[in-house]
Amino acid sequence: MNQTAFLMKLKPGVAAEYKQRHDEIWPELAAELKAAGVSDYSIFLDEQTLTLFAVQKLSDDNTAAALPKTPVVRKWWDYMAPLMETNSDHSPVTSPLREVFHLD
């Protein structure tokens, strides 16, 4: 099992809407993530900077790299694009983080 973490950025004034949309995550998106080997996925918000910190576990045989090509992920990105900083294809701008400490 691998763990990855990354940062994303919200636009001002949309934190409540961002949370609501994730509270109502589409069942087909959750199923796609799980099928790709993504589990224990959490996103935290620093309300002062609007920085999102995401952390997820990936199974050793995960197919997460293929997720951007799936229709449901593309649709989710389009749905979330008005709320966050995105690339031209509406994928979130992400900054990967390197793990420097872990305690089980």
Provide the annotated active-site residues: 22
* 58-84 burial code (b ≥16 CB/10 A, e <16): beeebeeeebeebebbeebbeebbebb
Which residue from 55, 60, 20, 62 is spatially nearest to 41, judged by alpha carbons? Answer: 55
